[in-house]
Structure 1
Amino acid sequence: MKTIRTHILNARTGGAIALAAVIASCGGSAYAGNLDIVDGNVKVTFDESRKTARFEHKGKLVLSGAYTTAILADDTPVDSRNYPSVSMNKAAVNDGYGNGTVYTYTYTGATPQIEQKIYVYPDLDYFLVEATLSGDNAAAHQICPIVSQTSTTLPLPTSSNRIYDMPFANDNWATFNSHNWSLGQPITSCEATALYNVNTRQGIIIGSVDHSVWKSAVSVTPTSSNKTRKVSAIAGYISSRTWDVIKDKASSTRHGIVKGDKVSSPRFMVGYFDDWRNGLETYGEANTVVCPKLEWTKDNALFGWQSWGGMEFGLNYTSAMSVLDFYEKELLPVGFYNEKGRTLMVLDSGWNALNDQQLVNYVNKCKSLNMVPGIYTTPFSYWGSEQDAVNNNTWEGGKLGEMALKVNGRYRMINALSLDPTHPKVREWVEKTLNKFNNLGFEFVKIDFMNNGSQEADSFYDPNITTGMQAYNYGMDYIVEAAGDMMIDFSIAPVFPAKAHVRRIGCDAWGDLPQSMYTLNCINGSWWLDRCYAFNDPDHMCLSKVPFNGKGSNDINEARIRYSCGLMTGMTLLGGTYAYEGDIKNFNGTDYKVVGNDAERARVVEFAKNKDLIKLGNVGKTFRPVEGTFHEKGSLWSKDDISVDNEFVLDAGDAFYYAVFNYGTSSNSAIEKTPDFARLGVNASDFVNVTELWTGETASPASLKVNVPVKDVRIYRFEKSGFGSGVAESVADDAGKVNVSKTGNCVSVNAVSAIDRIDVYSIDGTQLNSTDIEGATGSFNIILDTIYNILIVRVKTVDGNVYVTKVA
Structure 2
Amino acid sequence: MKNYKKYSLLGLIIWASSFSFAADFSIRESGWTIQYKTDSKSLDYTYQGKTILLNVRPEASYTLSGSNFEVNSSSFQNASLAKKSSNDNFGSGVVYTIKFTNPGAAVSLEEDFFFYNTYPYLISELRLVSTTEIASNYLAPFVSTTPVAFLDGNAADNRMLLVPWDNDGFVRYACSKLNTELTSYEVTGIYNGDTRNGLVVGSISHDTWKTGISIKASGNNTVERIKCYSGVSSDLTRDKIPHGKVKGKIIRSAKMFLGYFDDWRVGMETFGYANTLIVPALTTWKRGTPIGWNSWGVLMEKIDYTNLTEVATFLKNELYDQGYHNEQGNVIIDLDSFWAEGLPTDDLRKQFATDCKQRGQIPGIYWGPFANWGGIDNSVEFTDNQYNFRECTIYANGVAQTLDGAYCLDPTHPAVKDRITKMFAQFKDWGYEYVKLDFVNFAAVQADSYYDKSVTTAIQAYNQGFQYLLDAAGDMFISLSIAPMFPYQYGNSRRMSCDAWGTIGHTEYVMNALSYGWWTDQFYQFNDPDHVVLQREGESEGANRARITSAAITGMLLMGDNFSTSYTERGNPTLSKARAIKLATNEGILDIARMGTSFMPVYGHKMAESTKAENLFMRHTDAYLYVACINYYSAIQSVSGSIPLDQLGITAEEIETIEELWTGETRTLKNGEFTYAVSSCDARVYRIKKKTSSLSLISLDKGEKSLVVSAKDGILTIKSQQPLNKVEIYSLQGQCLTSDSFAPTSEINREVPSFNHGVFVVKCYSDTQGTIVKKISI
* CA–CA distance in structure 2, aligned partners of residues 393 and 281 of structure 1: 43
Query: Counterpart of 2:34?
Result: 44
* CA–CA distance in structure 2, aligned partners of residues 502 and 107 of structure 1: 42
> 1:136-151 alignment to 2 at 5 Å?
136-151=132-147
Q: Quick one: which of 684, 691, 715 aligns to 2:652?
A: 684
Query: Counterpart of 2:766?
Result: none
Root-mean-square deviation (CA), in Å?
2.4
Query: Counterpart of 1:788?
Result: none
- Residue 636 of structure 2 is aligned to residue 646 of structure 1: no
Query: Counterpart of 1:707?
Result: 677
- Residue 262 of structure 2 is aligned to residue 274 of structure 1: yes
> 1:738-757 alignment to 2 at 5 Å?
none
Identical positions, percent:
31
Query: Counterpart of 2:687?
Result: 717
Q: Quick one: which of 423, 434, 439 aligns to 1:444?
A: 434
Query: Counterpart of 1:131?
Result: 126
Q: Deviations over 1:69-108 (max 9, x none)?
A: 1121454322221112111111122222122111111111
Which residue identity is paired with 2:594?
Answer: N
Q: Quick one: which of 19, 26, 32 aligns to 2:21?
A: 32
Q: Deviations over 1:620-658 (max 9, x none)?
A: 21110011125224xxxxxxx941110000112101101
* CA–CA distance in structure 2, aligned partners of residues 407 and 705 of structure 1: 55
> 1:43-122 alignment to 2 at 5 Å?
43-73=33-63, 75-109=68-102, 110-122=105-117
User: Normalising by structure 2, what TM-score?
Assistant: 0.84
* CA–CA distance in structure 1, aligned partners of residues 628 and 13 of structure 2: 51
> Does the Cα contact within 8 Å between 1:23 and 1:91 map onto a contact in 2?
no
> Does the Cα contact within 8 Å between 1:197 and 1:203 map onto a contact in 2?
yes
After TM superposition, give the deviation of residue 669 of structure 1 in Å. Answer: 2.4
Query: Counterpart of 2:473?
Result: 483
> Does the Cα contact within 8 Å between 1:302 and 1:572 map onto a contact in 2?
yes
After TM superposition, give the deviation of residue 401 of structure 1 in Å. Answer: 2.0
* CA–CA distance in structure 1, aligned partners of residues 35 and 496 of structure 2: 40
Query: Counterpart of 1:343?
Result: 331
After TM superposition, give the deviation of residue 297 of structure 1 in Å. Answer: 5.2
Q: Quick one: which of 180, 188, 206 aligns to 2:177?
A: 180
> Does the Cα contact within 8 Å between 2:654 and 2:692 map onto a contact in 1?
no
> Does the Cα contact within 8 Å between 2:9 and 2:278 map onto a contact in 1?
no
Structure 1 residues 695 and 399: CA distance shift in structure 2, 3 A: same
Q: Deviations over 1:504-557 (max 9, x none)?
A: 111111111111100110111110011111100000010112xxxxxx432111
Query: Counterpart of 1:657?
Result: 626
Question: SS in structure 2 opposite 1:210?
Answer: coil
- Residue 566 of structure 2 is aligned to residue 581 of structure 1: yes
- Residue 366 of structure 2 is aligned to residue 376 of structure 1: yes
Which residue identity is paired with 1:537?
Answer: D
- Residue 667 of structure 2 is aligned to residue 693 of structure 1: no
Query: Counterpart of 2:540?
Result: 555
Structure 1 residues 730 and 494: CA distance shift in structure 2, 3 A: farther
After TM superposition, give the deviation of residue 437 of structure 1 in Å. Answer: 1.0
Q: Deviations over 1:645-683 (max 9, x none)?
A: 1000011210110111112313x6213333432222222
* CA–CA distance in structure 2, aligned partners of residues 687 and 465 of structure 1: 57
User: Normalising by structure 1, what TM-score?
Assistant: 0.81
Which residue identity is paired with 1:615?
Answer: D
> Does the Cα contact within 8 Å between 2:79 and 2:99 map onto a contact in 1?
yes
After TM superposition, give the deviation of residue 730 of structure 1 in Å. Answer: 6.4
Which residue identity is paired with 1:98?
Answer: G
> Does the Cα contact within 8 Å between 1:519 and 1:565 map onto a contact in 2?
yes
* CA–CA distance in structure 1, aligned partners of residues 495 and 669 of structure 2: 35
- Residue 471 of structure 2 is aligned to residue 474 of structure 1: no
Structure 1 residues 369 and 100: CA distance shift in structure 2, 3 A: same
Q: Deviations over 1:239-296 (max 9, x none)?
A: 011000xxxxxx21x1100011210001110011000000000000001111201124
- Residue 278 of structure 2 is aligned to residue 290 of structure 1: yes
After TM superposition, give the deviation of residue 55 of structure 1 in Å. Answer: 1.1
Query: Counterpart of 2:308?
Result: 320
> Does the Cα contact within 8 Å between 2:382 and 2:418 map onto a contact in 1?
no
Q: Quick one: which of 210, 225, 228 aligns to 1:230?
A: 225
After TM superposition, give the deviation of residue 225 of structure 1 in Å. Answer: 3.7
Q: How many residues align?
A: 684
- Unmatched 5+ residue regions in structure 2? 699-704, 707-778
- Residue 213 of structure 2 is aligned to residue 218 of structure 1: yes
- Residue 357 of structure 2 is aligned to residue 367 of structure 1: yes
* CA–CA distance in structure 2, aligned partners of residues 630 and 153 of structure 1: 21
* CA–CA distance in structure 2, aligned partners of residues 357 and 300 of structure 1: 29
Which residue identity is paired with 2:224?
Answer: R
- Residue 553 of structure 2 is aligned to residue 568 of structure 1: yes
> Does the Cα contact within 8 Å between 1:394 and 1:400 map onto a contact in 2?
no
* CA–CA distance in structure 1, aligned partners of residues 392 and 450 of structure 2: 9
Query: Counterpart of 1:410?
Result: 399
After TM superposition, give the deviation of residue 18 of structure 1 in Å. Answer: 4.7
Higher mean displacement: 122-131 or 622-631: 622-631
Q: Deviations over 1:188-211 (max 9, x none)?
A: 100011110111110000010011
Which residue identity is paired with 1:648?
Answer: F
Higher mean displacement: 473-482 or 218-227: 218-227
> Does the Cα contact within 8 Å between 2:5 and 2:280 map onto a contact in 1?
no
* CA–CA distance in structure 1, aligned partners of residues 385 and 578 of structure 2: 45
Question: SS in structure 1 opposite 2:317?
Answer: helix
Query: Counterpart of 2:759?
Result: none
Question: SS in structure 1 opposite 2:417?
Answer: helix
Question: SS in structure 1 opposite 2:498?
Answer: coil
> Does the Cα contact within 8 Å between 2:382 and 2:419 map onto a contact in 1?
no
* CA–CA distance in structure 1, aligned partners of residues 11 and 39 of structure 2: 33
Q: Deviations over 1:756-783 (max 9, x none)?
A: xxxxxxxxxxxxxxxxxxxxxxxxxxxx
Question: SS in structure 2 opposite 1:171?
Answer: coil
